[in-house]
Amino acid sequence: MKTKLITLFLLLNFTAFAQVLRKRTTLLMGSKFEITIVAKDAQTAEKNIDTVISEISRIEFLISDWKPASQISQVNSNAGIKPIEVDREVFELTKRALYLSKITGGAFDISFAAMDRIWKFDGSMTEMPTADAIKKSVEKVGYKNIILDSVNSTIFLKLKGMKIGFGALGEGYAADRCRNMMLKKGIKAGIVNGSGDMSTWGKNPKGNHWTVGITNPFLKDSLYTIVPLKNSAVVTSGSYEKFVVFDGKRYSHIINPVTGYPATGLTSVTIFGPDAELANGLSTSIMVLGKEAGLKFINQFPKFSCIMFGDDGSIYHSDNISDKMIKKWKKEL
Protein backbone atom coordinates (compact mmCIF):
# COMPACT_ATOMS: atom_id res chain seq x y z
CA MET A 1 0.00 0.00 0.00
CA LYS A 2 2.84 2.35 0.88
CA THR A 3 4.53 1.68 -2.47
CA LYS A 4 1.31 2.45 -4.34
CA LEU A 5 0.88 5.71 -2.43
CA ILE A 6 4.45 6.74 -3.24
CA THR A 7 3.91 5.86 -6.91
CA LEU A 8 0.68 7.85 -6.96
CA PHE A 9 2.38 10.84 -5.31
CA LEU A 10 5.20 10.78 -7.87
CA LEU A 11 2.67 10.59 -10.72
CA LEU A 12 0.64 13.49 -9.34
CA ASN A 13 3.79 15.51 -8.69
CA PHE A 14 5.03 14.93 -12.25
CA THR A 15 1.62 15.85 -13.68
CA ALA A 16 1.53 19.04 -11.64
CA PHE A 17 4.84 20.18 -13.08
CA ALA A 18 4.62 18.66 -16.57
CA GLN A 19 5.19 21.24 -19.31
CA VAL A 20 4.54 21.22 -23.03
CA LEU A 21 6.59 22.93 -25.71
CA ARG A 22 5.08 24.68 -28.69
CA LYS A 23 6.99 26.33 -31.53
CA ARG A 24 5.89 28.54 -34.39
CA THR A 25 7.78 30.21 -37.25
CA THR A 26 6.50 33.37 -38.91
CA LEU A 27 7.68 36.37 -40.91
CA LEU A 28 8.01 39.59 -38.90
CA MET A 29 10.16 42.69 -39.33
CA GLY A 30 11.12 41.35 -42.74
CA SER A 31 12.82 38.35 -41.11
CA LYS A 32 12.03 34.86 -39.92
CA PHE A 33 11.02 34.70 -36.27
CA GLU A 34 10.89 31.38 -34.45
CA ILE A 35 8.97 31.51 -31.17
CA THR A 36 9.17 28.71 -28.62
CA ILE A 37 7.02 28.69 -25.49
CA VAL A 38 6.99 26.16 -22.65
CA ALA A 39 3.73 26.21 -20.68
CA LYS A 40 1.41 24.00 -18.63
CA ASP A 41 -0.66 23.04 -21.65
CA ALA A 42 -0.77 23.48 -25.43
CA GLN A 43 -3.57 26.06 -25.36
CA THR A 44 -1.66 28.33 -22.97
CA ALA A 45 1.51 27.98 -25.04
CA GLU A 46 -0.24 28.81 -28.33
CA LYS A 47 -2.07 31.76 -26.78
CA ASN A 48 1.21 33.24 -25.56
CA ILE A 49 2.85 32.71 -28.94
CA ASP A 50 0.01 34.83 -30.35
CA THR A 51 0.83 37.48 -27.72
CA VAL A 52 4.50 37.49 -28.71
CA ILE A 53 3.63 37.87 -32.39
CA SER A 54 1.29 40.78 -31.62
CA GLU A 55 4.01 42.53 -29.61
CA ILE A 56 6.63 42.13 -32.33
CA SER A 57 4.14 43.46 -34.90
CA ARG A 58 3.46 46.47 -32.68
CA ILE A 59 7.19 47.23 -32.45
CA GLU A 60 7.59 46.77 -36.20
CA PHE A 61 4.97 49.42 -36.93
CA LEU A 62 6.86 51.83 -34.68
CA ILE A 63 10.43 51.43 -35.87
CA SER A 64 10.47 49.85 -39.35
CA ASP A 65 12.07 52.28 -41.79
CA TRP A 66 10.44 50.46 -44.73
CA LYS A 67 6.88 51.16 -43.50
CA PRO A 68 5.97 54.72 -44.61
CA ALA A 69 3.64 55.32 -41.66
CA SER A 70 6.10 54.28 -38.95
CA GLN A 71 7.57 56.88 -36.63
CA ILE A 72 11.11 56.17 -37.87
CA SER A 73 9.99 56.66 -41.48
CA GLN A 74 8.52 60.00 -40.47
CA VAL A 75 11.84 60.97 -38.88
CA ASN A 76 13.68 59.98 -42.08
CA SER A 77 11.31 61.81 -44.45
CA ASN A 78 11.80 64.98 -42.41
CA ALA A 79 15.60 64.82 -42.39
CA GLY A 80 17.04 68.32 -42.78
CA ILE A 81 13.56 69.80 -42.32
CA LYS A 82 12.31 69.47 -38.76
CA PRO A 83 12.43 67.34 -35.59
CA ILE A 84 9.76 64.67 -35.23
CA GLU A 85 8.15 63.72 -31.93
CA VAL A 86 8.18 59.98 -31.26
CA ASP A 87 6.93 57.68 -28.52
CA ARG A 88 9.19 57.46 -25.49
CA GLU A 89 9.90 53.83 -26.31
CA VAL A 90 11.22 54.78 -29.75
CA PHE A 91 13.18 57.70 -28.32
CA GLU A 92 14.91 55.53 -25.69
CA LEU A 93 15.76 52.83 -28.25
CA THR A 94 17.28 55.52 -30.50
CA LYS A 95 19.17 56.95 -27.54
CA ARG A 96 20.71 53.56 -26.74
CA ALA A 97 21.63 53.00 -30.38
CA LEU A 98 23.21 56.46 -30.55
CA TYR A 99 25.24 55.73 -27.41
CA LEU A 100 26.51 52.53 -29.01
CA SER A 101 27.42 54.51 -32.10
CA LYS A 102 29.44 56.91 -29.95
CA ILE A 103 31.36 54.33 -27.88
CA THR A 104 32.32 52.37 -31.01
CA GLY A 105 33.51 55.50 -32.81
CA GLY A 106 31.00 54.84 -35.55
CA ALA A 107 31.84 51.17 -36.12
CA PHE A 108 28.17 50.80 -35.35
CA ASP A 109 26.05 53.65 -36.69
CA ILE A 110 22.26 53.84 -36.72
CA SER A 111 22.42 56.22 -39.70
CA PHE A 112 23.86 53.42 -41.87
CA ALA A 113 20.44 53.23 -43.54
CA ALA A 114 21.44 56.18 -45.74
CA MET A 115 24.45 54.34 -47.16
CA ASP A 116 24.48 53.84 -50.95
CA ARG A 117 24.43 50.10 -51.72
CA ILE A 118 27.38 50.10 -54.12
CA TRP A 119 28.76 46.78 -52.90
CA LYS A 120 27.07 43.69 -54.32
CA PHE A 121 27.40 40.28 -52.72
CA ASP A 122 25.29 38.28 -55.15
CA GLY A 123 28.15 37.28 -57.42
CA SER A 124 27.62 40.15 -59.87
CA MET A 125 30.63 42.26 -58.81
CA THR A 126 33.69 41.85 -61.05
CA GLU A 127 35.75 44.74 -59.68
CA MET A 128 35.92 46.96 -56.63
CA PRO A 129 34.03 50.27 -56.64
CA THR A 130 36.24 53.33 -57.09
CA ALA A 131 37.57 55.18 -54.06
CA ASP A 132 35.40 58.19 -54.99
CA ALA A 133 32.26 56.05 -55.21
CA ILE A 134 33.01 54.48 -51.83
CA LYS A 135 33.57 57.88 -50.22
CA LYS A 136 30.36 59.24 -51.72
CA SER A 137 28.38 56.21 -50.51
CA VAL A 138 28.71 57.29 -46.86
CA GLU A 139 28.22 61.04 -47.30
CA LYS A 140 24.85 60.94 -45.51
CA VAL A 141 26.06 58.58 -42.77
CA GLY A 142 27.13 60.06 -39.46
CA TYR A 143 25.62 59.62 -35.99
CA LYS A 144 26.97 63.05 -34.94
CA ASN A 145 24.28 64.63 -37.13
CA ILE A 146 21.47 63.05 -35.09
CA ILE A 147 19.94 65.45 -32.57
CA LEU A 148 17.85 64.08 -29.70
CA ASP A 149 15.64 66.31 -27.56
CA SER A 150 14.76 64.43 -24.38
CA VAL A 151 12.35 67.09 -23.11
CA ASN A 152 10.18 67.03 -26.23
CA SER A 153 10.97 63.41 -27.18
CA THR A 154 12.03 64.40 -30.70
CA ILE A 155 14.57 63.11 -33.20
CA PHE A 156 16.11 65.38 -35.82
CA LEU A 157 18.42 64.35 -38.64
CA LYS A 158 20.44 67.41 -39.63
CA LEU A 159 21.24 66.46 -43.22
CA LYS A 160 18.69 66.09 -45.98
CA GLY A 161 18.77 62.52 -47.22
CA MET A 162 19.88 61.11 -43.86
CA LYS A 163 18.14 58.02 -42.54
CA ILE A 164 18.23 55.96 -39.39
CA GLY A 165 17.37 52.29 -39.19
CA PHE A 166 17.51 49.61 -36.54
CA GLY A 167 17.90 46.49 -38.68
CA ALA A 168 18.69 43.48 -36.52
CA LEU A 169 19.07 45.72 -33.46
CA GLY A 170 15.30 46.10 -33.56
CA GLU A 171 14.87 42.33 -33.76
CA GLY A 172 17.03 41.94 -30.67
CA TYR A 173 15.01 44.60 -28.87
CA ALA A 174 11.75 42.85 -29.79
CA ALA A 175 13.10 39.48 -28.61
CA ASP A 176 14.16 40.93 -25.24
CA ARG A 177 10.88 42.74 -24.74
CA CYS A 178 8.87 39.62 -25.48
CA ARG A 179 10.99 37.57 -23.08
CA ASN A 180 10.36 40.08 -20.30
CA MET A 181 6.65 40.18 -21.14
CA MET A 182 6.39 36.39 -20.93
CA LEU A 183 8.20 36.29 -17.59
CA LYS A 184 5.75 38.84 -16.17
CA LYS A 185 2.89 36.64 -17.39
CA GLY A 186 4.31 33.65 -15.54
CA ILE A 187 5.69 31.82 -18.59
CA LYS A 188 8.87 30.43 -17.10
CA ALA A 189 10.66 29.18 -20.22
CA GLY A 190 10.95 29.92 -23.91
CA ILE A 191 12.98 31.29 -26.79
CA VAL A 192 12.32 34.23 -29.11
CA ASN A 193 14.62 33.91 -32.11
CA GLY A 194 14.58 36.82 -34.53
CA SER A 195 16.61 35.67 -37.52
CA GLY A 196 19.44 34.50 -35.27
CA ASP A 197 19.02 37.09 -32.50
CA MET A 198 17.97 34.76 -29.69
CA SER A 199 16.63 35.72 -26.29
CA THR A 200 16.11 32.73 -23.98
CA TRP A 201 14.80 32.13 -20.48
CA GLY A 202 14.18 29.17 -18.20
CA LYS A 203 14.76 25.53 -19.13
CA ASN A 204 13.35 23.07 -21.62
CA PRO A 205 10.62 20.59 -20.57
CA LYS A 206 13.29 18.04 -19.59
CA GLY A 207 14.68 20.51 -17.05
CA ASN A 208 17.88 21.23 -18.98
CA HIS A 209 19.28 24.59 -20.04
CA TRP A 210 18.67 25.62 -23.62
CA THR A 211 21.80 25.15 -25.73
CA VAL A 212 23.11 26.62 -28.96
CA GLY A 213 25.64 25.12 -31.32
CA ILE A 214 28.46 27.34 -32.59
CA THR A 215 29.47 26.51 -36.14
CA ASN A 216 33.03 26.87 -37.35
CA PRO A 217 32.48 28.74 -40.65
CA PHE A 218 35.40 26.85 -42.18
CA LEU A 219 33.99 23.45 -41.15
CA LYS A 220 30.29 23.95 -41.81
CA ASP A 221 29.39 20.30 -41.41
CA SER A 222 30.55 20.18 -37.80
CA LEU A 223 30.05 22.22 -34.65
CA TYR A 224 32.92 23.97 -32.90
CA THR A 225 31.17 23.73 -29.53
CA ILE A 226 27.79 23.70 -27.80
CA VAL A 227 27.09 26.47 -25.28
CA PRO A 228 24.46 26.29 -22.50
CA LEU A 229 22.22 29.34 -22.31
CA LYS A 230 21.29 30.34 -18.77
CA ASN A 231 18.63 33.03 -19.18
CA SER A 232 20.74 34.71 -21.80
CA ALA A 233 20.82 35.95 -25.36
CA VAL A 234 23.05 34.89 -28.22
CA VAL A 235 23.71 36.72 -31.49
CA THR A 236 26.05 35.93 -34.39
CA SER A 237 27.28 38.31 -37.07
CA GLY A 238 29.17 36.72 -39.92
CA SER A 239 30.33 37.01 -43.49
CA TYR A 240 30.75 33.32 -44.26
CA GLU A 241 27.83 33.40 -46.71
CA LYS A 242 28.02 36.94 -48.12
CA PHE A 243 31.44 38.20 -49.19
CA VAL A 244 33.58 39.04 -52.22
CA VAL A 245 37.25 38.41 -52.90
CA PHE A 246 39.49 40.84 -54.81
CA ASP A 247 43.22 40.27 -55.25
CA GLY A 248 43.10 37.46 -52.71
CA LYS A 249 41.53 39.62 -49.99
CA ARG A 250 38.16 38.75 -48.48
CA TYR A 251 35.60 41.57 -48.06
CA SER A 252 32.60 41.09 -45.75
CA HIS A 253 29.04 42.18 -46.53
CA ILE A 254 29.20 44.10 -43.23
CA ILE A 255 30.27 47.62 -44.19
CA ASN A 256 32.30 49.99 -42.04
CA PRO A 257 29.98 53.04 -41.75
CA VAL A 258 32.95 55.37 -41.32
CA THR A 259 34.94 54.38 -44.41
CA GLY A 260 32.37 52.73 -46.67
CA TYR A 261 34.68 49.73 -47.09
CA PRO A 262 33.65 46.19 -46.10
CA ALA A 263 34.94 44.77 -42.85
CA THR A 264 37.94 42.45 -43.11
CA GLY A 265 39.82 40.15 -40.74
CA LEU A 266 36.93 38.33 -39.07
CA THR A 267 34.54 35.79 -40.55
CA SER A 268 32.11 35.54 -37.63
CA VAL A 269 31.49 36.89 -34.15
CA THR A 270 29.13 35.27 -31.64
CA ILE A 271 28.10 37.26 -28.56
CA PHE A 272 26.53 35.86 -25.38
CA GLY A 273 24.99 38.12 -22.75
CA PRO A 274 21.90 39.21 -20.83
CA ASP A 275 20.13 40.92 -23.75
CA ALA A 276 19.92 40.42 -27.50
CA GLU A 277 19.66 44.12 -28.36
CA LEU A 278 23.11 45.05 -27.08
CA ALA A 279 24.57 41.70 -28.12
CA ASN A 280 23.60 42.46 -31.72
CA GLY A 281 25.21 45.89 -31.59
CA LEU A 282 28.38 44.41 -30.10
CA SER A 283 28.66 41.63 -32.68
CA THR A 284 28.27 44.04 -35.61
CA SER A 285 30.74 46.49 -34.07
CA ILE A 286 33.38 43.83 -33.48
CA MET A 287 33.11 42.60 -37.07
CA VAL A 288 34.01 46.15 -38.14
CA LEU A 289 36.63 46.79 -35.43
CA GLY A 290 38.53 43.59 -36.13
CA LYS A 291 40.21 41.12 -33.81
CA GLU A 292 42.50 43.26 -31.62
CA ALA A 293 40.24 46.30 -31.21
CA GLY A 294 37.21 44.00 -30.99
CA LEU A 295 38.60 41.94 -28.13
CA LYS A 296 39.67 45.07 -26.26
CA PHE A 297 36.17 46.46 -26.76
CA ILE A 298 34.19 43.38 -25.65
CA ASN A 299 36.32 42.99 -22.52
CA GLN A 300 34.85 46.30 -21.32
CA PHE A 301 31.50 44.50 -20.96
CA PRO A 302 31.99 41.82 -18.28
CA LYS A 303 28.41 40.55 -18.61
CA PHE A 304 28.99 39.75 -22.28
CA SER A 305 31.35 37.24 -23.84
CA CYS A 306 32.30 36.32 -27.39
CA ILE A 307 33.79 33.70 -29.67
CA MET A 308 35.18 34.92 -32.98
CA PHE A 309 36.66 33.28 -36.06
CA GLY A 310 39.30 35.04 -38.14
CA ASP A 311 39.45 35.02 -41.93
CA ASP A 312 42.45 32.69 -41.65
CA GLY A 313 40.53 30.14 -39.56
CA SER A 314 42.02 31.25 -36.22
CA ILE A 315 39.73 31.27 -33.17
CA TYR A 316 39.61 33.88 -30.41
CA HIS A 317 37.45 34.49 -27.36
CA SER A 318 36.89 37.18 -24.75
CA ASP A 319 38.75 37.07 -21.43
CA ASN A 320 35.71 35.71 -19.56
CA ILE A 321 35.65 32.53 -21.67
CA SER A 322 38.48 30.20 -20.68
CA ASP A 323 39.92 27.30 -22.64
CA LYS A 324 38.68 25.11 -19.79
CA MET A 325 35.10 26.29 -20.32
CA ILE A 326 35.26 25.56 -24.05
CA LYS A 327 36.72 22.11 -23.36
CA LYS A 328 33.83 21.42 -20.99
CA TRP A 329 31.25 22.59 -23.54
CA LYS A 330 32.83 20.44 -26.24
CA LYS A 331 32.15 17.35 -24.14
CA GLU A 332 28.47 17.91 -24.94
CA LEU A 333 29.10 17.39 -28.67
Residue-level pLDDT at 41:
96
Catalogue all structural domains in the chain, each as residue range(s) with its CATH number: 71-165 (1.10.3980.10)
308 neighbors 327 (Cβ within 8 angstroms): no
The Cα-based distances of 215 to 121, 210, 220, 308 in angstroms read 22, 17, 6, 11
DSSP H/E element including 169: helix 167-184
Which residues sit opposite 293 in a β-bridge?
none
Residue-level pLDDT at 117:
87
DSSP code per residue over 29-60: TTEEEEEEEEESSHHHHHHHHHHHHHHHHHHH
pLDDT at 168 over 80: no
- Distance, CA of 321 to CA of 333 (rounded, Å): 18
| Edge-first strand listing for the sheet containing 84-85 | 84-85, 154-157, 146-149
Q: pLDDT digit string (tens) for 2-40?
A: 333 333 333 333 344 579 999 999 999 989 999 999 999
Q: pLDDT digit string (tens) for 198-242?
A: 999 999 999 999 999 998 888 877 889 999 999 899 999 988 778
DSSP H/E element including 227: strand 223-229
- Distance, CA of 232 to CA of 236 (rounded, Å): 14
- Counting Cβ atoms within 10 Å, is residue 269 exposed (0-12), middle (13-18) or buried (19+)? buried
